[in-house]
Chain A
């Protein structure tokens, strides 16, 4: 079974700061997806197939990675980016798995 480990689990960032969230897979995977969730709301698709931004996602966000290491980066943190971010992948036979989440707070 593939396990996705996100780091850090919690972090704070100031407006304008660069933020990087990492997702490590226990075995190599072909791509990673990312979701954003704010308190009391459903998760939103955010980045798919490692580096493609979902509709409406600001271009200060980017995704990269391969193999067992993937990342979500925010250039110039803004207040609205404070949220929890989850990575997700599909692999046989583990099927669909999520990372534990990274809570990003505004400093």
Chain B
């Protein structure tokens, strides 16, 4: 059974950093691109970032370029999202998702990130 379990969320002050992790199991992690998708409270879904299965490329939405870094450790089957210079508008639930040919076929339960002083 495919499982994606996020961790690392919480309350953080504006301008500070936070790192999210996603532990994957039930599939061959290094065969798949992985991504983060977020959802602000009572809002819609937004793609945040994607990383290729072999770490050969990373892609970001414009609003997080230069502030967020997506990475992975294939030996540990773990995906990460390093979020720096956080802003109030980054407040959202962040989902770890598996990308199967540009389609998000498995989603984690989500982790809440609140940016507030």
Name A residues whose Cβ lies closer than 8 Å to a Cβ of B.
33, 35, 37, 42-45, 48-49, 54, 86, 88, 90, 95-101
Contacts and interface: CB of A to CB of B under 8 A. Distances in A.
Contacts of B61: 95
A33 to B, nearest CB: 5
A97 B107 contact: no
Contact of B45 (A49, A54, A86): A86
Interface in B42-95: 44-47, 50, 59, 61, 95
Given A33-B103, A42-B109, A48-B103, A97 B44 contact: no
A93 to B, nearest CB: 9
B105 A45 contact: yes
A98 B47 contact: yes
Nearest to A54: B105
Contacts, number: 49
B95 A43 contact: yes
A52 to B, nearest CB: 10
Contacts of A48: 103, 105
Contacts of A101: 44-45
Nearest to A47: B103
B105 A96 contact: no
Return the 4 tightest CB-CB contacts between A and B, nearest first: A90-B102, A96-B47, A42-B107, A98-B45
A49 B104 CA distance: 11
Nearest to B46: A98
B44 A86 contact: yes
A45 B104 contact: yes
Given A86-B44, A90-B102, A101-B45, A96 B50 contact: yes
A49 B61 CA distance: 22
A90 B104 CA distance: 11
A95 B50 contact: yes
A3 B2 CA distance: 31
Contacts of A42: 95, 107-110
B11 to A, nearest CB: 20
